Structure 1
Amino acid sequence: MKKILIVEDDASLQEELKILLDNNGYEGRILHSFSNVAQAILTMDVDLVLLDILIPTVNGQQVLKAVRAKSDVPIIMVTSKNSEVDEVLSMSYGADDYITKPYNPTLLLLHIEAVFKRINKQNAMDVYCGVAVNVLRSTLEKDGQELLLSKNEMAIFHYLLQHKGCIVSRDELMDYLWDTNKFIDDNTLTVNITRLRKKLEEIGLVDVIETRRGQGYLLV
């Protein structure tokens, strides 16, 4: 049974989350002391952490940063602030996912399942043309340079990498993104592909994603 640590200072929400997790095949654990949150997370044997950004004494993003320096335990950031800056900062610090309160309990469970699914299906590190692809950290690394990809960009690139040398249709990509709870429409897919190409160029991967008109995309 997967153990999930709840780092949330609202007592009623703590219990609601624990009941939700316990009733859906997980073992929910509650962190009751906030004196040294990062150290507590590092010393506890858990499979995933639900980490609220707004907790007593310390910002959850700083906790995330401290934990990431020593551990790759999956972390989903939870916040009551709907801020793109918070999401970008959390992902840059190494969060595996991000969800905003108030959220539908079913949606939270889907986010948790998606994180575990990615971990089970993907290796933490692949290599493509001399570039290390760190899926869990959503980064590309080469010669000491680290390039951060968004969740969608990494999902698209990793899927193309899994099917390297084969044409992947736009519908197939969107179905994959929907399955991993990162649904994007047709126009947004085009934007993400464009941004991904530009980022790949920054690390020396130029013209590696080919567009096959009427068919889809090909990672050469």
Structure 2
Amino acid sequence: MFKILLIEDDATLFNEIKERLAQWSYHVYGIQDFDQVFQEFTAIKPDLVIIDIQLPKFDGFHWCRIIRSHSNVPIIFLSSRDHPTDMVMSMQLGADDFVQKPFHFDVLIAKIQATLRRVYNYNTERIELRTWRGATIEYVKNTISNEQGSIDLTKNEMFILKILTEHKNQIVSREKLIQNLWDHEHFVSDNTLTVNVNRLRKKLETIGLGIYIETKVGQGYIATEEVSV
């Protein structure tokens, strides 16, 4: 049974979501003290976090930033705020998805299922390592390293890198990435993919690999590799 930490201060909404998710065999935890969100997160060790933006004391962005600095646990924002910058901010902080209130429960459960399936299927893959431009990609650890250093990636960033490096020197369409990442293309904005790719590229720049993830305007993305002659 997956453990979900729902960081939501609206008791009515929290109880409704908890009851609905229990029907899908998810064990949902709430926050008792909104001054101690990270401490409760650490104690619970959830498999997924759902977090509102507007919270007592500190907003969801604050807690997402702290959680992401210590963990790659998947994070989904759930908020009534509908400004595009809120979604962009959540993605830049390392969130995996964004659901706007009011929402249809089928949309929320589809995103939860797709995220959990994407994240926790890694350990069932036989291939755990891949090399790309002299760097070693470790899928289980969500890291990529070379002589310039090692960086940690979120699950989304690793999944994007995995798909691109599986198709080295080939253009991977945005549609294919969206379908593989979120399974339900209807629920994903094009901007969400852009933010994730840009965040991946920025991290790769720290070990000299950012320039090798190229954007092909109107087509998609490509991970270039030197071709042996």
Is TM more than 0.5 here? yes
Q: Which amino acid aligns with 2:117?
A: K
Pairing of 1:42-61 with structure 2 (within 5 A): 42-61=42-61
Q: Which amino acid aligns with 2:76?
A: I
**1:180, 1:132 → 2: CA distance?**
30
1:129 corresponds in structure 2 to: 133
TM-score by length of 2: 0.67
**1:175, 1:23 → 2: CA distance?**
26
1:161 corresponds in structure 2 to: 165
C-alpha change, 1:36 and 1:134, in structure 2 (3 Å) is farther
Per-residue CA distance 1:20-57 (angstroms, 9 max, x = gap): 11011211222232121121111213211111111111
2:71 corresponds in structure 1 to: 71
> C-alpha displacement at 1:217, in angstroms?
6.6
Pairing of 1:1-220 with structure 2 (within 5 A): 1-122=1-122, 128-130=132-134, 143=148, 156-164=160-168, 172-173=176-177, 175-177=179-181, 179=183, 181=185, 183=188, 199=201, 203-204=208-209, 206=211, 220=225
Partner secondary structure for residue 67 of structure 1: helix
Q: Which amino acid aligns with 1:128?
A: W
Equivalent pair of 1:8/1:31 in contact (CA under 8 Å): yes
Unaligned runs of 5+ in 1: none
Higher RCO, 1 or 2 (CA under 8 Å, sep at least 6)?
2
Unaligned runs of 5+ in 2: none
CA-based RMSD: 4.3
Equivalent pair of 1:178/1:184 in contact (CA under 8 Å): no
The count of corresponding residues between Structure 1 and Structure 2 is 208
Per-residue CA distance 1:71-91 (angstroms, 9 max, x = gap): 222221221111222222222
Deviates most, 93-102 or 174-183: 174-183
Per-residue CA distance 1:3-32 (angstroms, 9 max, x = gap): 111111111101111011101121122223
**1:35, 1:207 → 2: CA distance?**
42
Q: Which amino acid aligns with 1:161?
A: T
Equivalent pair of 1:210/1:219 in contact (CA under 8 Å): no
**2:222, 2:182 → 1: CA distance?**
18
C-alpha change, 1:9 and 1:120, in structure 2 (3 Å) is same
Deviates most, 11-20 or 71-80: 71-80
TM-score by length of 1: 0.70
Partner secondary structure for residue 102 of structure 2: coil
